[in-house]
Amino acid sequence: MKIGFIFGGQKKAVKDTQEEANKTPAGTTSSVEKNDNTNGPSGQNRPKTIGDLKASGYSPLSIREEMRRNLIALIKTKKPIFNGIIGYDNTVIPQVENAVLSGQNIIFLGERGQAKSRVMRLLTGLLDEAIPVIRGCEINDNPFSPICKSCREKVAMEGDKTEIVWLSRQDRYGEKLATPDTTIADLIGDVDPIKVAEGRYLSDELTMHYGIIPRTNRGIFCINELPDLAERLQVGLFNLMEEADIQIKGYRVRLPLDILLVASANPEDYTSRGRIITPLKDRFGAQIRTHYPVTVKDEIAIVEQEWQRFNDGDVNFYVPDYIKQVIAEITHLARKSPDIGQRSGVSVRVSIANMETVVANAIRRAIMLGEKMAVPRISDFPYIIASTTGKVEMEGFEEKNEQKIIDDLTKKAVLVVFNRYFQFDELEPIVKQFNSGFNVETSDNMSAKSYTRYVKEIPGMAKAVKKMTAAETPETIASVVEFILEGAHLNKRLNKTKVEGKTVYKR
């Protein structure tokens, strides 16, 4: 499997990846490969105290060593690193592999909808199934080398009888969206007034309530949209990464955390002076540039993977390949259009939403007309205005007709796709029929059977339809007929006018 560029459906992809990895036992060895160095039994037979853990021969690894070992095992067995990612096999994924093998912190630079968050979340697939931590510890302390004061005191008092629990790979991932209201308390921690009220001194480390970063100790912590983090928070984050200590309310706390830091950012924000402090930027060993699908084929593959389908049994649906290509081509053309702002990008979500929209309109038509099969047509595309405008930003200060811009993109996309299927001279037999005043009406609410007569009445139409599809259902034929007529119009062989909600093709 490959992976997509979008966020939609990412929870399922992450869950599937984690469930697959969870089938293997825990240990410092790869979670995908058993060998003699495994950290001990899995499941209910896992050690429950530090003494049991020592007896099992467990040897802890740092987060970077653990991920590196598991990645090497995956590469050796030629198993996919990121299940469900599409189009990154020769670009992003090799760079991620190099970063993990180098033990580097990573930042992903890319516009919206390029699967940055999904790739970050799928990094958990490189973690062991589970690791041991001291029971009740807020920051997942290593039983053999605790760093928080409460765990140090517990181990000093209870010794080998200190209880441990096993932390799953899912629970070793932390994520925070950088927003203007994010505070040091959110990321690093703050003094807990309840603990102070219980009688502890403010200077006592035990009064601290840890934030999300310390709670992700021995795991992966990700920050989305890093440049949006306030400068003072960036300084605190840098200090934690560089010096392994923090200051909470003026009190210095030594926290040598074991964390892989991963971040995402828009390239324009990341390179903008003043948006991110240079020392923090310097701490990211790997700066990986993500991208949109390079080919229409990859775009279609992502759409196929992500768009929502509802199998309610009332109406079956079928989406022809040329419809899929038109949808993908619209998005590709939008990424080059001067009328659409490119700084924030044109996400694959546009293609996904447009696919859902044209299929929905086809299903709506089938329900209204009592048809059992729904097949999208060219006449369904005007409805994508609702699923496109909210996902793109129009360029320029003058007010422009959004619908016209999207309509123009659709026409260009249909023309590109049509010319992949037909040569110029193949239209001649069809066009000749229109020379004597013949015309054809189409509409998104016309029944499929009303199109079948055009196949018989127009010379060359039957041959053209057969070239596009072997199916003989009226719904499929109706879709192909509309595609051919629109292609002939866009190639300037037929005229087109709209009358009372219908489209009329004529000479």
How far apart are alpha carbons 312 and 316 in whole angstroms? Answer: 9
Domain final residue pick, 272, 288, 304:
288
Question: Using the 8-state DSSP alphabet, how is residue 423 labeled?
Answer: -
Within 8 A by CB and 6+ apart from 312, the residues are none
The whole-number pLDDT of residue 249 equals 60
Do 449 and 392 lie in one domain? The reply is no
User: Which parts of the chain have pLDDT scores under 50?
Assistant: 1-40, 397
The whole-number pLDDT of residue 390 equals 86
* Angle (nearest 5°) at CA 69 between 64 and 71: 95
Residue-number span of the structural domain to which 363 is assigned: 296-419
Do 246 and 307 lie in one domain? The reply is no
The whole-number pLDDT of residue 5 equals 33
Do 303 and 282 lie in one domain? The reply is no
With contact defined as beta carbons under 8 Å apart, do 168 and 130 qualify? yes
- Strand-pairing partners, residue 254, are 245
Give a yes or no: residue 16 inside a domain.
Answer: yes
Do 396 and 255 lie in one domain? The reply is no
CB atoms within 10 A of CB 55: 12
> For 427-443, how does the pLDDT look when each residue is reduced to its tens digit (9 = 90+)?
899 999 888 889 999 99
Give a yes or no: residue 366 inside a domain.
Answer: yes
- Strand-pairing partners, residue 190, are 209
Do 204 and 311 lie in one domain? The reply is no
Give a yes or no: residue 178 inside a domain.
Answer: yes
Do 195 and 262 lie in one domain? The reply is yes
> Pseudo-torsion of CA 366, 367, 373, 376, nearest 10°?
40
The whole-number pLDDT of residue 216 equals 93
The whole-number pLDDT of residue 395 equals 77
Q: How far is CA 445 from the centre of its chain?
A: 35
Do 407 and 446 lie in one domain? The reply is no
Do 470 and 347 lie in one domain? The reply is no
Give a yes or no: residue 1 inside a domain.
Answer: no
The whole-number pLDDT of residue 211 equals 85
SS3 state of residue 252:
strand
Do 331 and 452 lie in one domain? The reply is no
Give a yes or no: residue 393 inside a domain.
Answer: yes
CATH code assigned at 68: 3.40.50.300
Give a yes or no: residue 4 inside a domain.
Answer: no
Residue type, 182: T
Domain final residue pick, 419, 447, 467:
419
Domain final residue pick, 288, 312, 344:
288
Do 34 and 124 lie in one domain? The reply is yes
Domain count, the chain: 3
Tokens 């008092």 correspond to what residue? 157
Closest listed residue to residue 255, CA positions, set 307, 298, 216:
216
Dig out the tokens for 204 from the structure. 């006592």
Please list the alpha-helical segments (H only) found in 116-245. 116-122, 149-158, 184-187, 193-197, 231-243
Do 222 and 315 lie in one domain? The reply is no
The whole-number pLDDT of residue 204 equals 61
How far apart are alpha carbons 13 and 169 in whole angstroms? Answer: 15
Percent helix, strand, coil in the chain, to 5, is 50, 15, 40
